[in-house]
Amino acid sequence: MSTKIDYQPQSKAAWKERLTQDLKNKTYEDLKWQTLEGFSVEPLYTAEELRAKPHMQTFHAWMNALKNPGWSYFQPMLQGQALDMNQVKALGATGVLLFENEQLSTQIEQASQAGLAVGLILRTPISNEKLAELQVELIQKNSWILADGISWYVQHQWAQEEAEAWLQQAVAFPEARIGFDGSAYHLMGANATQELAAMLSGMVAAIHAGTSNGLELKDLASRILFSTQVGPLFFMEIAKLRALRLLVWNLFAIYEVEPFEFPLHVSTSALFWSGKDAEMNLLRHTTEAASGILGGADQISILPYTIEKTYRQAAEKLSLDLSLLLAEEAHLDKTVDAAGGSFYIDQLTDLLAENAWNLFQELEEKGGILEEGKALLLKHIQETASKREDMLKRGELELIGVNKFESETAKHSPYFQEFSQYKPLYQLV
């Protein structure tokens, strides 16, 4: 007797009809989810939607042709670090993630001696001379520096002339990466749509600076680097990273540049890092790192779940262990674009890319992020950040972990010095 079951494909209309029967007092429309990104998400997607979007099939082909499986782990080295460089190397890290501080040169040298690569993110303006000095030092050590002068301009009221001068230097330094720091907008409270649009507008400014200096677009494309942070909205963050690659490739296609691989560094979120229930961060970091990997990150950094001195060393080791766990136990390092083919994630990717592209065009109509587009971007970000904060205060936004029902025995933790310039949500989440 055959045990084979012959499942017949069903149309979306048939699924919706059955769903409506099961819902009884609710309709299909009641289950739609309105996102902070500016669009609604349906509870059900099928192959029908994907067949109407042939560009997503092309995107799958690009991902499989250009991406390699696996990732490199860069351990964040924060103020008060408990583990030294040699311990970090012994525990399996490929590199370390550094931020500006008084011991920066010493840290770079120690990392080099331990055989670790360095990723350096600068979030406050420095002189072009100091930047050039750091670029030379890090290029010699097979490392990278992310100094996004455009995000400095947006955040710190940096003069437009200074941002333009930074761009000219960035494109003129032939071996240096041209970096775009999406985490700067994320930490300001931007949603995924705004973050993507801001990076696209910054990239167009870099393209204009490069071409005006006689730089070939293929050469510029080979030097691009992106870094961002991923929050606890698991599927949305996967879609954000996939949409970034889709948008970058589509933008360069306008200039007749074929799709190309570029490094994408992803860190767990400092915006949604909880100070009132530190252990809850372990849950968030696990899903955030997983969404970063499934979204196509090449390099991952995981913040410690607490910086309380008593638990600091164990917390730093757990960050390293999480990366190993996702590789050795979940085997996420074995596939390329594991989310590809998921009707839901592909729809999210496409919706997010479409909305980000529309906002990007609005910014460009205002002259771009270096002109009047900056004010429009800041307006959108401030509105989103305020709305999110209100939703958290009212208990309407539920995050991974228990942010709605607080634990009376939870361990508290102070906040990171490295991100203190931003208005954190850590006492709300």
Buried b (16+ CB within 10 A) or exposed e, 144-165: bbbbbbbbbbbbeebeeebbbe
Residue 36 lies in a domain: no
Residue 386 lies in a domain: no
Report whether 279 contacts 318 (CB < 8 A).
Answer: no
Q: What is the pLDDT of residue 187?
A: 93
Residue 426 lies in a domain: no
Compute the distance between CA of residue 356 and CA of residue 245 in angstroms, rounded to an integer: 12
CA 367, chain centre distance (Å): 25
Q: What is the pLDDT of residue 175?
A: 74
Q: What is the pLDDT of residue 420?
A: 77
Mean pLDDT by 10 residues, the chain (429 residues): 70 86 85 89 87 89 90 95 95 94 89 94 79 77 85 84 85 83 94 97 94 90 94 95 97 94 95 88 94 96 93 95 95 91 93 97 96 96 94 82 68 82 72
CATH code of the domain containing 250: 3.20.20.240
Query: Among candidates 244, 260, 263, which has minimal Cα distance to 252?
Result: 260
Q: What is the pLDDT of residue 47?
A: 85
Residue 400 lies in a domain: no
Count of domains in the chain?
1
Element containing residue 217 per DSSP (H, E)? helix 217-221
User: How many distinct helices (H) and strands (E) make up the chain?
Assistant: 16, 10
Report whether 190 contacts 384 (CB < 8 A).
Answer: yes
Residue 376 lies in a domain: no
Residue 272 lies in a domain: yes
- The helix/strand/coil state of 71 is coil
pTM of the prediction? 0.93
Residue 403 lies in a domain: no
Q: What is the pLDDT of residue 403?
A: 63
Compute the distance between CA of residue 370 and CA of residue 375 in angstroms, rounded to an integer: 10
Determine the Cα angle at 65 with ends 205 and 180, to 5°.
25
Determine the Cα angle at 160 with ends 263 and 420, to 5°.
60
Per-residue CA distances from 149 to 34, 156, 184, 346 (Å): 33, 10, 11, 32
Residue 144 lies in a domain: yes
State the residue range of the domain holding 214.
54-352
